[in-house]
Structure 1
Amino acid sequence: MPAGFDLPPLPVLGSLLAGIGSVAVALYRLDPPVTDRIVLAFLPWVVAGAALHVAALLGLVAPTVGRVAVVGVGVALPVIAHVLATGPGAGSIDPVPPAIALLGTAIVTPLTWTLLGRLRDDVTTVTGVIGIVLVFGHALDGVSTAVGVDLLGAGERTPFSRVILEVGAALPTADLIGAGWLFVLVKLVLASVVLVLLGPTLRETPRDGRLLVFAITALGLGPGVNNLLLFAVSAP
C-alpha cells in the first residue's frame, strides 16, 4: 500500500467490516429518516474518533481502540480532556498553534460560503447548515495542515496531500507565504465542488444526500481535529 496508509490486523478489520455491513443492512431495512439534526448529532463521534487516534499515537490507549473509535466508539469531550490532561507526559501543551488554525478556519469558512452563495445560491440554499459544516471541516483540515507544515515543520503522511504541499513548496510564493496555502485552497475548492455535485441529490433524495454530506464532512473534520490535538500535546 502507499506510504501513509495502514490496515488494522485482519481479525479487527474483519470485525469492522462485518459490523459496518450489519449496520448498513439494518439501516436499509428500517429506512429511517435522516435530518440535518441527525447529521449534526453524529459529528461529535467523528471528533471522538480523532481524539482517540491521537491518544493511540501517544501511547495512551491501545492502537486497536483508536482504530475502532474512528467509526464511532467514544465520547468526544471526555476523550479530548484525557488527551490534554496527559499530554505533558508526551510533550507540552501549547494552545497557540491550534488557536491559529481555528482562527484561520473561522476566517476562510464564511468567506468560502459567501462566495459559493454568490456563485451558486441554489447550492447554499439546499445544503444549508450541513453544507457550512462540510466547508468548515475541510477548511479546518486544510488550515491546520498548513499551520503544521509552515509553522511547526511537520510532515504530511497522506500521499495526495503531500504532493500538493510539494507543489506549493516549489512555487515562487513559498518563501513569502509558505507551502500550505495551496493545500488550503484545494480543500476549499473541493469542498465547494462536492456541495455543487451533491445539490441535486439533496433535492431529489435528501436522506442519501445528507448521508453523503456527513461522510465527506468526516473526511475533513476528523483529520482537522486530529491535527489540532497533536499540535496541542506534542509541541516542542
Structure 2
Amino acid sequence: MATVAERVGVDPERLWGGTFLVALLALVGGSLAFPNLVYDRFVWHYFWGPVQVDANSMVCAVREGGATKYLDSASACAAAAEPVAYPGYTLVSEVGYMVTLLFALIGVVFLMRRLDIGEDRSFFYALLPFMFFGGALRVVEDANDTPGAAETLISYPLNTLVISPIIYFTVFLITLGAVVVAVALDQFDVTTSYERPLFGIGVVVLAASLAYLLSLVVTGAPGVEFYPQVLVVMLVGATLAAAATWWLIERFAPEINSGTGTIGLVIIWGHAVDGVANVVGLDWMTALNAGPNLVPKHPVNQFVVDFTASTLPASVLAVTGDAWPFLLVKLVAATFVVWVFEEGIFEESPRYTMLLLVAVLAVGLGPGTRDMLRATFGV
C-alpha cells in the first residue's frame, strides 16, 4: 500500500475510502438513472435476485416493469424473458463477491491499524467463537428452509439475513461490531484487554444460535431432530485426525509449523472438523442411527464423492464410503497453508498475517461447523 500511496500521492486509507464512495455512488446513481440496465440487469439479476428467490423458496424470479415476479416451475422459468434470477451463484456474482471480500479485507486492516489491535496472536483466539457462530448461523438457515420447521419465526424479508451470501455480511458486521465494542471497553478501562470481551461476545452470539436450534428440538419442529452421537463422533474424529497430522509434522517436518506454532494446530483441527463432518454426514449417518445420509452442499464435496464413486469398486465403497478422500484433501491443504506462514511473515506484517490466518481457519471451521450441526440436528 505504501507503493500505491507514493505513485498516486494519496494516503492509502483515503484512497480506499474514496474508491468505496465512488463505487457506491456509481451503483446507487446508476440504479436511479438507469434502473432497467444497472439495477434490474446487474444488481438484481446477479446479486439480490438470487437471494430473494432463495428466501421465498421459489424456482426463479423475473424482473418485469420494476417489480419482482416469482415462478415455481422450471418450465415457466425457462420460458421467461431476462432478467431471470435463480438461487445460488453465477460467475459474475462469484467474481463480484471475491472482489468485495478482498476490498473489505484491506479496509479491515486499516481499521485494525486505527484501533491498534491485531498484532498479537491473542487476536486470533479471541475471534475463534465467531467462526463457530458463522457455521451455526448457516444451520439456522438450513433449519428455516426445512418445510414447516420455522416458517413463522423467520420469514421474508428477515430471513435474507441468514441466506447465503448475505449471511456472510451479517456475520462480518456482527463481528466488526463486537470488535469495536470490545476495544471501547478496553479504552475506557472497563476491562484490562479487548480480547476477553471480544471472546465473550462471540460466545454469547454462538450460544444464542445453538439455543435457537435446541429450541426447535424441544418444541418438536418438523424436520429437526437431535443426534448427539453424531456430534461426539465428529469431534472425536476431527481431534484424532488433527492430532495424528500434528504428530507427523512435529516428528518428520517440524519446520512446517515453525512460524504458526499452536495456531497451526488450531487451523489443522478446524479443517479436520470440515473433513470429518463431511465423511460422517455423507456416509455414516445411517450407521449411527441418525437418519438418512446427507447430500453434498458444495461443488467440491460433490466432485470428491463422484470421483471416488467412479474410481473405486463397489465392494470397497461398501466398507469405506465415498467421502473419505475429502478428509485427506483438507488435512493436506491445511498443512500446506500452515507451512506457507513462515516466521518472517509475522514480523513483516503482523496484522495482515493474523487476518489471513483468521480467514484460513474460517473457510475450514465455518463450513465444518455447519456440516457438523446439520448432521447433529438432521437438517
TM-score (norm 2): 0.54
Question: Which whole-Å CA distance do the structure 2 matches of 1:107 and 1:4 have between them?
Answer: 37
Could you tell me the percent identity over the aligned residues? 29
Cα distance, 1:78 vs. partner? 1.9
CA contact (8 A) 1:53 1:69 kept: no
1:23-34 aligned at under 5 Å gives the runs 23-30=108-115, 32-34=117-119
Work out which of the residue numbers 169, 176, 181 in structure 1 matches 2:324.
181
Question: Which whole-Å CA distance do the structure 2 matches of 1:118 and 1:204 have between them?
Answer: 28
What residue is the counterpart of 1:65 in the other structure? 161
Cα displacement string for residues 109-138 of structure 1 (whole angstroms, at most 9, x for unaligned residues): 100011122232123232112111100110
What residue is the counterpart of 1:168 in the other structure? 308
Aligned-pair RMSD on alpha carbons?
2.8
Cα distance, 1:69 vs. partner? 3.6
Cα distance, 1:228 vs. partner? 1.8
CA contact (8 A) 1:45 1:72 kept: no
Question: Which whole-Å CA distance do the structure 1 matches of 2:173 and 2:264 have between them?
Answer: 21
**Stretches (4+) displaced over 4 A:** 16-22, 28-31
Aligned pair in 2 of structure 1 residues 203, 27: CA closer, same or farther (>3 Å)?
A: closer
CA contact (8 A) 1:164 1:183 kept: yes
Question: Which whole-Å CA distance do the structure 1 matches of 2:347 and 2:107 have between them?
Answer: 28
Please say which structure displays the higher CA radius of gyration. 2
Aligned pair in 2 of structure 1 residues 128, 116: CA closer, same or farther (>3 Å)?
A: same
Cα distance, 1:232 vs. partner? 1.9
Letter in 2 for 1:106: T
Structure (1/2) with the larger helix percentage: 1
Question: Which whole-Å CA distance do the structure 1 matches of 2:87 and 2:277 have between them?
Answer: 18
Aligned pair in 2 of structure 1 residues 210, 64: CA closer, same or farther (>3 Å)?
A: same
Q: Does 1:156 align with 2:299?
A: no
How many residue pairs are counted as aligned between the two chains? 228
Aligned pair in 2 of structure 1 residues 4, 154: CA closer, same or farther (>3 Å)?
A: farther
Cα distance, 1:139 vs. partner? 0.2
CA contact (8 A) 2:123 2:354 kept: no
Aligned pair in 2 of structure 1 residues 158, 4: CA closer, same or farther (>3 Å)?
A: farther
Cα distance, 1:187 vs. partner? 0.4
CA contact (8 A) 1:101 1:147 kept: yes
What residue is the counterpart of 2:122 in the other structure? 37
Bigger RCO of structures 1 and 2 (CA < 8 A, at least 6 apart): 1
Instruction: Return 5+ residue gaps in structure 1 as ranges.
Output: none
CA contact (8 A) 1:53 1:226 kept: yes
Q: Does 1:222 align with 2:366?
A: yes
What residue is the counterpart of 1:208 in the other structure? 352
What residue is the counterpart of 1:99 in the other structure? 232
